[in-house]
Structure 1
Amino acid sequence: MTADAAQLAWTASWLGTGLGAGLWLWSWVRVKDPIQKLRFLDCGTALVFASILVRVVVQDRAMSVFDWVWVVVSPLFIAGALWRLARTSGPPDGN
């Protein structure tokens, strides 16, 4: 059994989606600290939307309107999540 690159990317994207959804669920159920909760949500958001982009790129059929919406919206959500992760990564200012 040989796996081509598209099949490998498709499988990895579903694993990323599952991991991102797991991070969302973990943040809602287990995490009490608001900053940690936000960081788990942002990591999950980046993973889920990146996985969606991978599935859109490796699909066999022609892109539909919904695929184009994913292509435009997903990088915005990823950038927003990464920006918020960068803003919450350091210790609070002592000022």
Structure 2
Amino acid sequence: MSNTFLATAVTGLGTALVIVLPFSFGQEPLWTFKLFSGTIGEYPYASVNAFNFYSLLGANYAADSATLFVFSYHTWGMIFIVMITAYA
């Protein structure tokens, strides 16, 4: 592991801690993970007032279970997330 990678990782974690720390008083240790996982399930829509591809197709507030071509909007979203993550 190179020194550049280690320095980048430490800097990123430090920045995240500085940003999250003021909101952490009185919270349990893993509160951010619960917040993000809870937010994921809040909007069962393809797009909610976002300027993205789904909105361009007119899928603003369309149910994520609705079908676009062969797959549901949710499945398309997961496919593209995996592809972009693998590319990165």
TM-score normalised to structure 1 length: 0.29
Structure with greater helix share of residues = 1
Q: Quick check: which has more Rg, 1 or 2?
A: 2
Higher relative contact order (CA 8 A, sep 6+): 1
TM-score normalised to structure 2 length: 0.31
Structure with greater strand share of residues = 2
